[in-house]
Structure 1
Amino acid sequence: MEEVDKILIHALRQSGTGVAEDIQSVKQFTSELIVEAVVRCVRVINPALGGGLSPSLPPGMSARFRVGMGLAQACQDLGYKGEIGYQTFLYSNEPEIRALLMFLVEKLPRESAEASDQPAGKSVVLQRAIAAKIKAQLALPWLPHNCRLPLLCKTQSAGPSRSLRTQPLSLPYSNKSTGRASSKASREYQRDVLLPVTAQPPHRGALVASLLEQHTAELSAAQEWDSEWNSQGLLSRLTPEEYRSRKAARLQKRIQEQLSSAPGTPSPGSGGAGSGGAGSDLAQLLLSFQGAGPGDLLPKGTHFTHTQKFTFTQDPGLLVEQMAAVASSMPLGGQSEGELRACQQAELGELEERLQQVALGSERLSDRMKQMNLGVAQVTHELKERERANQEKEDSLQVKRQTVELLPDAHNNLAKLQTLVEASAKRLVGLAAQWEKHRDPLIQEHRRLKELCTNQDVESSRQLSEIKDLHEKIRETAEKAKKKESVYKQLISELENLPKDVSRSAYTLRILEIVGNIKKQKEEITKILSDTKELQKEINNLTGKLDRTFAVTDELVFKDAKKDESVRKSYKYLAALHENCSQLIQTIEDTGTILREIRDLEEQIETESGNKTVANLERILADYKAVREENSALGSKVREG
């Protein structure tokens, strides 16, 4: 059992159970360690079933009984057929615990079993324990601090919650991801000017959220590219670089078309090229960036620009009159500051009125320009229609002119026309015959090429599906290679930490010795079984021989006993001897049966002594007293309430 216990302890450590180094046997397991080991194994086998189980025993006895019943029910749900209950965990029995742990270790997934065969260091065990602890904490619901139970107060932090704020980060490797080589200026900027990632967010608390958002964006972009390439890129039969360049060219062409088709805000009645694109999102975006059109209000600007535009848009004669009016309205040097400010306000109001009039005039001019452009477009369209009608009339007139020229010699012309028609008909018949001669091989070639194209499409579809399968296999192989690479690095580090004085040959010799001992035990068992069979066979032969001999002797002596008195006494002695021998044999068999029962009872006594029955009874009495105390305390609280 020592080797079995070592294998079980090793597997439990791999599953995340905190088994101490000094524990070498299942006999040394405490109730707390048994509960933790069973919960860890159940969570690995069935996370949904073990998610609600606690790996630690609560202090209260009633809660402990509930935990034991829950673990027993979970083990029965997994398919355990042995006897199990809360007493299995609270009052441990070495054979039952060993059988239960062997069942759970055999139920572990194959990956976990393979991982348990690999030696793992303390770092792996620590990582698994951290992951299990995080999963357990995530499974617990969040509650306010005042509503938490003592267990939740230990597992959930009492600090205030804060909102996460993200900040766009500038990372040097972003150019590598796009496939463009970074220039010298960008490299100098990244080396000398760009701040570290930890210093870019304005607040220290936004660093983790910003990194997570950056990583999520890059991961989603990579996944979108993979899905697009697998769905559309492979069908295009292009390389990834050609597919990206063609996609960029299409996008650039679309932007150029939108820019060329949206030079300004089109009118509702205009039929230009820009009217169709104005309804799209890109056209609306371009129009929003283009700014106000001629019919909108004037854009914002400085006082100098407004004055400049106002000055140079006026007529020179009107400008002279305005300058004279402004000069005549200039205040004298002896006026007060209030009068000067009032004059300035009046002048400002007058200028604003003039500016509004100019703006209204410009709006009217823009409306008139739109109407004139619309009229020009309509006139141009009408002109094209009339030119096309004139051309049709000229063609019909030319035909009529030629017909009139042929009217004086109508008979000869009709004969010539009939001759031409017959010749044309014969020529058409000959051409049709020639076309039929050429048409048959062309149809056959068309059918052959069509069938060949269909076969090629089927073959290309099959190859495309194979390529997709290969991509999937490559992805799975890459993931497996990464996992094996991490396991290889871990094994290398553990190999370096292992003592160098222990060689593999020692373990090999130990394994060979164990195998040899098992073979010897099997040979001895086989020998004992064969000896027992031979002995039983010999006993059966002797018993049969004895019965036959007694029957023959009894018959012979009984015949002589009728005639001779001394032979009659011999017959009585023979019968008594046979009866005594039968009793002696029965006594020997009963003695053997009693000896076997004694050995069985001794083994049961050893088993019961190993089960710590007395200690378990003492613990049961102590737990019973604790339950009574808890019940009395609860009863007193109920009475007080």
Structure 2
Amino acid sequence: MDEVDKILIHSLRQTGTDVGKDVQSVKHFTSELIVEAVVKCLRVIDPALGSGLSPSLPPGMSARFRVGMSLAQACQDLGYKGEIGYQTFLYSNEPEIRSLLMFLVEKLPRESAEASDQPAGKSALLQKSIAAQIKAQLALPWLSPSCRLPLLCKTQNPGPSHSFHSQTLSLPHCLKVPGKKQLKGKPQNTQSPLNLLVCKENDYHRDFLPPVTAQPSQHASVPASLLEQHAGELSATQEWENEWNSQGLLSRLTPEEYRSRKRARLQKRIEEQLRTAAQTRPDTLGAHGSGSDLPELLQSFGGSPLIGDILAKGTRFTHTEKLTFTEEPEKAAKQMAAAANSLPSSHQSEEDLQARQQEELASLQQQLQQLSLSLEEVGGDMRQLTVSIHQVSDELKQKELSNTEEEDSVRVKKQTIYLLPDGENNLAKLQALVEGSAERVVNLAAQWEKHRAPLIDEHRRLKELCSNQEVESSRKLSEIKELHEKISQSAEEAKKKEGLYKQLITEFENLPKDISRSAYTARILEIVGNIRKQKEEITKTLSDTKELQKEINSLTGKLDRTFAVTDELVFKDAKKDESVRKSYKYLAALHENCTQLIQTIEDTGTIMREIRDLEELIETENGKKTVSNLEKILEDYKAIRQENSALAAKIREA
């Protein structure tokens, strides 16, 4: 039982039960320790079932009875079939407690399932300890500060709390200069702009960049900022991996080429959006004076300037518009200067000054309306002229096409007129030329057929080869995807195994070093040897018992047969002789006495077995600590009576 108790204690310590080092067996468990162990096991097995149970016994006896009954009900709900009640926890019995703890330990989830579902390593141990502390704190009931015990004052202290406020952090990243690898014996060009930029950035990171803990405005924002930065980088990495696995592999490009192609596509889209915006609203560009900024912006994106800038010389209409719009501001400037020269003197009243200003404002608004009307008229004329220009250009193209057709017909007619005087000879020559052309066409067709057949075969072969290559490439692409998935799965498994290895190393380092592996091995081998010897002795005892039973059965049968034969022979002679009759009586008495003796021996064996069973029961009852439990029950009874009397006194006083 010592080995079983050690295994139970080790399992209970893994669930978070505070089992002292001096406790080496179940018989040393106190009622408080039993309750704590059962509650911790129930919380690990079924958190919903064990979350409402307290791991500590309350001071009042009635509350203790309720805790014991609730624990017994929870164990029965979990499937425990043995006898259990409040007495199992308050008045502990070693065999019952051992069987209950064995049942709970067998119900605990296996370490393999936990290791497959949860990450391993030092972080996993830290997370487990944090989760255990949080569960323990959540299981405790909340009380007001005036009613808290010293333990609750420690666990339910509010402590400092801060809001989750993150700020952008500047983190140094390792930059690699793209390009060819440096050859041996050739110095690398350290004066390139990218190398200088990397060097300056490294100098900035080394000399001027403050540490991460000093970058936020408040020290409480450091964890939130780090979590936000890490989450952003992790999400960006996952998005890139998903995009590369879904679209990048299908493009059959390297990651650098795929990124440059995506950047160029995005740059082209922005350029097109800016160009369409500039073409749809040219009046707003001219009104706000941002027409010169747009070409610079397009040139910065790698685009060409606007089409309007190509016509730098301008047309008659643009010159007229420029003169119109330049003369109007000059007139307005002259009027403003005249108004400034004709300012009223100091002796004029403020009312006259305000009246003149109102008149000037009305005249300027009238001029502005006239200018806007003229601008609208010019815009309408410009649109009409543009439409007329498009119409004229279309008519010009149609006229050019008709001219080319007429020139071709005139050329044919000229040649026909030139050949008319000698029509018969020319017709014969034309006929011969047509026949020669027909024969040449036939010869060319035959030659083309000769060349066409191998070309068609070659085309079909190349087409089939191309289709086979496409099928092969698609198959290889699918294999590459599967390999990528296998690599990612293998990497995850390697990380889990590495974390599990680190966890096992830490647990091994935390184990006591005074006992070596050889001692454990020798102890295990000794236990196995003792079990083997016990099995051999049990087998030998069973075989001896079977042989003895067989011998007893054979002797009993032989005795019965001998008595039957002797009884028959003596009974025949007893009818004739008186002395033989007495011998028959003595034979019957001897047989009866022997039967009684055998029955007495069998009863003696049965009584001895019953005595041994009773002795074992006595030892078991002595192990149940009945006397001490009765003393505890009496003390608890007295405590309950005192509590009842105190409550009755309080009721009478009230």
TM-score, normalised with respect to structure 1: 0.74
Q: Any idea what SS the aligned residue of 2:217 has? A: coil
Task: Pick the aligned partner of 1:221 from 236, 243, 252.
Answer: 236
Query: In 1, are the aligned partners of 2:69 and 2:85 still within 8 Å (CA)?
Result: no
The size of the alignment, in residue pairs, is 584
Distance apart, 1:260 and its partner CA: 3.9
Task: Pick the aligned partner of 2:221 from 183, 195, 206.
Answer: 206
CA distance in 2, matches of 1:70, 1:376: 97
Query: Corresponding residue for 2:475?
Result: 459
**Residue 404 (structure 2) pairs with residue 395 (structure 1):** yes
CA distance in 2, matches of 1:331, 1:566: 187
Structure 1 unmatched runs, 5+? 269-282, 287-311
Q: Deviations over 1:109-132 (max 9, x none)?
A: 4436998xxxx9999988644322
**Residue 250 (structure 2) pairs with residue 247 (structure 1):** no
Q: Which amino acid aligns with 2:577?
A: D
Question: Percent of counterpart pairs with the same letter?
Answer: 54
Q: Deviations over 1:350-377 (max 9, x none)?
A: 7866776676677557656654664454
Query: In 2, are the aligned partners of 1:5 and 1:24 still within 8 Å (CA)?
Result: yes
Query: Corresponding residue for 1:67?
Result: 70
Q: Any idea what SS the aligned residue of 1:326 has? A: helix
Query: Corresponding residue for 1:544?
Result: 557
CA distance in 2, matches of 1:139, 1:230: 46
CA distance in 1, matches of 2:368, 2:82: 97
List 4+ stretches of structure 1 deviating above 6 A: 120-127, 138-141, 143-146, 148-155, 159-162, 178-182, 342-355, 621-641
Note closer, same or farther for the CA distance 1:127–1:260 as it changes in structure 2 (3 Å cut). closer
Q: Any idea what SS the aligned residue of 2:278 has? A: coil
Query: Corresponding residue for 1:533?
Result: 546
Q: Which amino acid aligns with 2:471?
A: N
Q: Any idea what SS the aligned residue of 2:532 has? A: helix
Query: Corresponding residue for 2:319?
Result: none
**Residue 612 (structure 2) pairs with residue 609 (structure 1):** no
Query: Corresponding residue for 2:305?
Result: none
Note closer, same or farther for the CA distance 1:543–1:195 as it changes in structure 2 (3 Å cut). same
Note closer, same or farther for the CA distance 1:240–1:607 as it changes in structure 2 (3 Å cut). farther
Distance apart, 1:94 and its partner CA: 2.1
Query: Corresponding residue for 1:168?
Result: 168
Note closer, same or farther for the CA distance 1:230–1:624 as it changes in structure 2 (3 Å cut). farther
Note closer, same or farther for the CA distance 1:462–1:166 as it changes in structure 2 (3 Å cut). closer
Deviates more, 1:595-604 or 1:127-136: 127-136
Query: In 1, are the aligned partners of 2:175 and 2:198 still within 8 Å (CA)?
Result: no
1:262-411 → structure 2 map (5 Å cutoff): 262-263=277-278, 266=281, 319-320=333-334, 322-329=336-343, 331-332=345-346, 367=376, 371=380, 374-375=383-384, 377-405=386-414, 409=420
Note closer, same or farther for the CA distance 1:242–1:623 as it changes in structure 2 (3 Å cut). farther
Higher-RCO chain (CA-CA 8 Å, sequence separation at least 6): 2
Query: Corresponding residue for 1:41?
Result: 41
CA distance in 1, matches of 2:122, 2:395: 94
CA distance in 2, matches of 1:383, 1:122: 83
CA distance in 2, matches of 1:627, 1:220: 63
Query: In 2, are the aligned partners of 1:61 and 1:626 still within 8 Å (CA)?
Result: no
Q: Which amino acid aligns with 1:75?
A: L
1:614-625 → structure 2 map (5 Å cutoff): 614-616=627-629
Q: Deviations over 1:513-569 (max 9, x none)?
A: 333333332332233222222222222222222222212221221221121111111
CA distance in 2, matches of 1:123, 1:398: 91
Query: In 2, are the aligned partners of 1:45 and 1:107 still within 8 Å (CA)?
Result: yes
Distance apart, 1:155 and its partner CA: 6.3
TM-score, normalised with respect to structure 2: 0.73
Query: Corresponding residue for 2:134?
Result: 134
Note closer, same or farther for the CA distance 1:585–1:369 as it changes in structure 2 (3 Å cut). farther
CA distance in 1, matches of 2:275, 2:364: 33
Aligned-residue CA RMSD (Å)? 4.9
Q: Deviations over 1:24-62 (max 9, x none)?
A: 111222333333333433444455655555544556246
Structure 2 unmatched runs, 5+? 180-193, 284-297, 302-325
Q: Which amino acid aligns with 1:207?
A: V
CA distance in 2, matches of 1:222, 1:614: 70
Query: In 2, are the aligned partners of 1:72 and 1:85 still within 8 Å (CA)?
Result: no
